[in-house]
């Protein structure tokens, strides 16, 4: 019977052995992935666009190239892998969107850096109409979330800094989309696209 080896030690041993075996025990492991962090400038340079949640492809502007998840902007991400977005929504209307494997990057808490979070596929898109009760509910959830450590710096005298009436009005006038993503199981071991 093999002894249990924690994942962190498995990766370290795999790297030390060139991804071959774990301390001669015959267990084949992949080399440890390289963790790379990207600044906002790095993201813009590699993607060729200002950073929004949905990033178009520079060669084919109607295709979705990447998704960037900004911290504290997608309250349903942790529980159900849903993102809530308003910019570049035409990228979600393309044919065969569900078949496309899309790199996802997440902004790190307390930093202005992004980390590659793997390849994901769009499972479902739900359109939320302007000025609808559903939109009001989602915006309220987005703009007034429960307190988390990463939101602590945005607090003033113990209260969440409220959105202005103008910001609410602009947000309510737009169509939004709730996009459910699922991890692309065929690309679990692949690294970032750049």
Task: Report domain extents, the chain.
Answer: 34-144+161-186
Helix (H) or strand (E) holding 19: none
> What is the tens place of the pLDDT at every residue in 46-88?
999 888 999 999 999 999 999 999 988 999 999 999 999 999 9
Say which residue, 150 or 15, is predicted with more confidence. Answer: 150
Least confident of 57-66, 139-148, 149-158: 149-158
Check whether 155 has a pLDDT greater than 80: no
pLDDT recorded at residue 13? 46
| Rounded Cα gap, residues 104 and 101, in angstroms | 10
**Among 105, 129, 114, 128, CA closest to 181:** 105
Find where tokens 């994901």 sit. 120
Between CA 108 and CA 176 the distance in angstroms is 24
Helices (H), the chain: 7-16, 40-47, 77-80, 133-143, 165-172
Residue 124 CA to residue 63 CA, distance in Å, equals 16
Q: Averaging pLDDT over each range in 40-49, 159-168, 171-180, which range is the top one?
A: 171-180
Domain at 34-144+161-186, CATH from 3.30.70, 2.30.280, 2.60.40, 2.40.50: 2.30.280
| Dist CA 31 CA 33 (whole Å) | 6
Q: For residue range 91-139, what is the model confidence (pLDDT) as tens digits?
A: 999 888 999 999 999 999 888 899 999 999 999 999 999 999 999 999 9
Residue 6: the pLDDT is 46
How many angstroms separate the Cα of 58 from the Cα of each of 66, 74, 99? 11, 25, 20
Residue with tokens 């309510």: 172
Kindly tell me if the per-residue pLDDT of 24 is higher than 60: no
Confidence tier at 158 by pLDDT (50, 70, 90):
very low
Residue whose structure tokens are 């019977």: 1
pLDDT tier at 177, thresholds 50, 70, 90: very high
- The DSSP call for residue 87 is S
């Amino acid at each position: 019977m093999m002894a249990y080896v924690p994942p962190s030690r498995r990766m370290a041993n795999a790297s030390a052995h060139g991804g071959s075996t774990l301390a001669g025990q015959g267990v084949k492991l992949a080399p440890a992935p390289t963790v790379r962090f990207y600044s906002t400038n790095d993201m813009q340079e590699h993607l060729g666009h200002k950073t929004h949640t949905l990033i178009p492809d520079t060669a084919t502007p109607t295709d979705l190239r990447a998704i960037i998840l900004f911290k504290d902007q997608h309250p349903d991400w942790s529980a159900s892998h849903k993102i809530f977005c308003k910019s570049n929504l035409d990228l979600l209307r393309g044919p065969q969107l569900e078949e496309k494997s899309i790199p996802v990057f997440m902004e790190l808490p307390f930093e202005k850096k992004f980390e590659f979070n793997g390849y994901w596929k769009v499972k479902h898109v739900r359109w939320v109409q302007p000025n609808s009760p559903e939109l009001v509910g989602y915006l309220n959830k987005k703009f007034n979330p429960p307190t988390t450590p990463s939101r602590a710096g945005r607090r003033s005298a113990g209260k969440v800094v409220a959105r202005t009436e103008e910001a609410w009005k602009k947000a309510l006038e737009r169509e939004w989309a709730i996009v459910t993503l699922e991890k692309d199981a065929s690309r679990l071991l692949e690294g970032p696209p750049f």
